[in-house]
Structures are given as structure tokens and as C-alpha cells.
Amino acid sequence: MNAGTFHCSRALLPHGWASNCLVTVDEDGMIVGIEVDASASGATVLPGPVIPGMVNVHSHIHQRLIAGLTGYRAVGADSFWTWREQMYRAVGLLSPDELRTLAAFAFMELVEGGYTVTGEFHYPHRLGGAEPLETATGLVKAADAAGMSLTLLPVWYRYSGFGRQALAERQRPFGMTLDELTSLVGRLREQMGPGVHRVGVAPHSLRAVEVSDLPEMLAAIDSGPVHLHISEQPAEVAECRRHGGRTPIELLAEHVELDRRWCLIHATHASDDEIALMARSDAVVGLCPTTEADLGDGLFPVRSFVDQGGRFAIGSDSNLVTDAAGELRLLDWGQRLQLNQRNVLCDEGEHLGRRLWADAARAGADALGQPVGELAVGRRADWVVLDAAHPLLEGLDADYQLDTLVLAGARDLIDQVWIAGRQQVSNGRHPSRAELAPEVARLRRRLLEAD
């Protein structure tokens, strides 16, 4: 039995825009048929251009708590490392229940921003002394409340720095042995069963995990996505060279095969050789433009990487910004500022909006092991409907509508978001968000009052 048929006057299919598409979705929320030039009779009409849901490959959902609260310069040179201390302090104040509320609210914001799947790189395992399974399960419940699909990536965090340095006091709740990690992944997979969620694994970084231990981790957890922060900060690259005698990506590639399971997050300070190495591999690079800008990380050379065959996806990371279009916009703007060109990440004869949205969604789907990223038979019915009646979009060709979302868009250009064939957002809003808002406001005020 079909769960529904949907009629789109314009839909972005893998080969480009198509008109009058009738999309059939089964009870599991999967697309089982797409007919073009079809009539709308009996179908639910999607009133604006329909694009695939965006995939968010990298999020630390608890960091939404401090969005906008780290703009006060308290020290001489504010940096990633001073920000990290502020973030550790904030996370230390959260109970597991508070994390769940905050996460549900922030997942709703991400859904409103056009994301339908999030890769949650989850490391506050023992908040308030809780068991790792309890904290992780809380995040799954939070995603369920938002209707969002999750690829949960429990983080393997062992050390505070290269050379197996012991964890600092504030990092202790993140620590886990390989046995604990393997057991957590196994239990989460058992609990979830089939459905919209997946479980991968995330060795935190080459600072927090010893690279020579990774083959053992890959053997113990032998399927699902593997995500790792790498080369985000120059200090980290320098430390890696000092301890490992190589730059981080070269060192990693000496110990593991960078196959389809891998997603390398940031890779900001990759050398030319490392860019070529990643582009030749089957790994996806996960770029987080607004967070990388906020933390003063630097700019990854996206155009050069893409020209060598590399694939990138996007992530909201610290969740300072929760809209997909905003990440894509800054991704291209960063390249423009570096290269003194415009429309860097598309080719001649292409619209930037379509190219960026389609490329990031497809690579993101692979990086999270999710059957999404395209409107096609066999993929899940995750989509975003733009507001065709908005004055900036009304009466335009779909390519200009999508360019407007990516380049000029405020969130009010998104009308509806559907995940697994169910509507989660209408008129740009998630209906459950208002209920959680007072508690989220309280948590943010408490944080400032605790200063």
C-alpha cells in the first residue's frame, strides 16, 4: 500500500529540473515511483519548487547552547582554543534531560533550515555522570521529536593531545575505551533497528586518538560511516608533524585505507599533496564554512579539490548557523575572496545554486550512509519545498529560485520540509518548536548568570 502520492509542478531530479512530477512514496517513506508530465489528480500538491533535503554531515548539537554567546573578547588573542574552553564550561552545566530538550529544539531549527539528515558527532557521553547509552539514546529521542533522520556518530575520545596525553579534567566525561565504544555502537544499532536512523563511529581527531589504534577500531566496528576531525588548526598540524613525522592526512592514510566509509571533517590546512591524496580516495571531505569562519580556522581550497575529483559535503558543526543555504553561500564566498572570482564552485553554463545543492546533498548522503541526497526511486522521501509565492521567487524559473535561496535567501524562502514522506515544517516553522523555546531560553540565561 502506498503512503501517498505527491505532485510537484517543478522538482529537481538527478538529471535536472522536471515538470509536473508525480512522486509515489511507500509506507516506509521511500520513493517508489516518479512520473513526469503527470496530472495532479488525487495527489497531495506541493506548492513550490521541490529540492532534495540537505544532508548535514557534521554537528555537535549541544554547541547550539552557546551560539552568539562567545562574541565577547575576554583575552588578548581570542582563538579556537579559547572558544573551546568556553564550550567545555557550557557543556559541563547540562544534564542529560537538558541536552535532550536543547537537541530537540536545535534539530527542529536545522529542519527549518532545509536539513533532513544530521550526522551527530557526539562526545559528551557522560553528562552529569550518565551512562553513554542514556545520553546517546536521548539524542535519538530528540531527533524523533524533530522528525529528523540521524546518523549518530559516537565519538572515540581517549587523549588530550598527540603522544597519548591524559585527558584534561573537562574532557573526562568524553573519554571511552575501545571496548566501551564497540559495545555502545552495538547496543545503539540493536535498539534502533531499521528506520531513518543509522549509527557510525567517530574517532575524534588524531589528537584524541592514537592513529596506530585506528585499524583495531575499524576491525571492531567493521561497517558504517567513520568520521574524523583533521587539520582544522595550524597548531594541530604542527604537533602532528612533531610527534608523527608527517602531516595529519598523510599520517592517517599510512595507517588506514580512506575508502567510502570515511568522511574527513575540515581538512582546512591540507597540503597540496594531501588535497590530491584525498581527491584520489573515496573519502568525502566535510566542510563547515560558518563554524570554520567563526573559529578563524581558515579556508579549504574547494575548487582545486573538486577539479581533482574530490567530493565535499557540508556541516553545521557548532550550530552557530542552522540553515543549509547559509553554509553553501559562505562556501562559495570564501573561494571568491581567495581567488578574486565569482561563482567559483560551478562550471560554465551552470547555476551555482543547483550545482552546490545537488553536489553537497549527494556526497553528504554517502558520507552518512543514508539513502537520500536525490529525488529518485529507491531514495527516501526527504525534500524541501520553496515558497513560490515569496516576492523574491514568484514567477521565476526554478534555477533562479534556487540561486536566490542559496545566494540571497533568508529562511522565509523555505515553505515546507518533508522527511520520510512526512511533513515536519509548514509555513517555514516546525510546529513543536514553540513548546521547547522557554526551556532553551532558560538554559542560555542560566549559562550567562553562572559567569
Identified catalytic residue from 294, 297, 317, 359: 317
Find the DSSP H helices in 245-351.
248-255, 272-280, 289-294, 302-307, 324-339
- Pick the closest to residue 430 from 158, 112, 209 (CA basis): 112
Q: Are 135 and 124 in contact (CB under 8 A)?
A: yes
CA 138 from chain center: how many Å?
18
The overall longest dimension of the chain from CA atoms, in Å, is 67
Q: Are 112 and 414 in contact (CB under 8 A)?
A: yes
Cα separations in angstroms, 229 against 58, 146, 236, 268: 10, 26, 11, 10
Identified catalytic residue from 266, 269, 390, 430: 266
Question: CA 16, CA 382: separation in Å to the nearest integer?
Answer: 17
With b meaning 16 or more CB within 10 Å and e meaning fewer, what string describes 339-353? eeeebbbbeeeebbb
Cβ count within 10 A of residue 63:
21
Cα separations in angstroms, 11 against 48, 130, 422: 9, 45, 17
Cα separations in angstroms, 239 against 242, 245, 387: 5, 9, 49
Q: Which residue has the cell 560558518?
A: 290
Q: Which residue has the cell 562556501?
A: 331
Q: Which residue has the cell 525534500?
A: 383
Q: Are 138 and 96 in contact (CB under 8 A)?
A: yes
Residues 6+ apart with CB under 8 A from 397: none
Residue 317 is a catalytic residue: yes
Question: CA 386, CA 36: separation in Å to the nearest integer?
Answer: 19
Residue 451 is a catalytic residue: no
Catalytic machinery residues: 266, 317
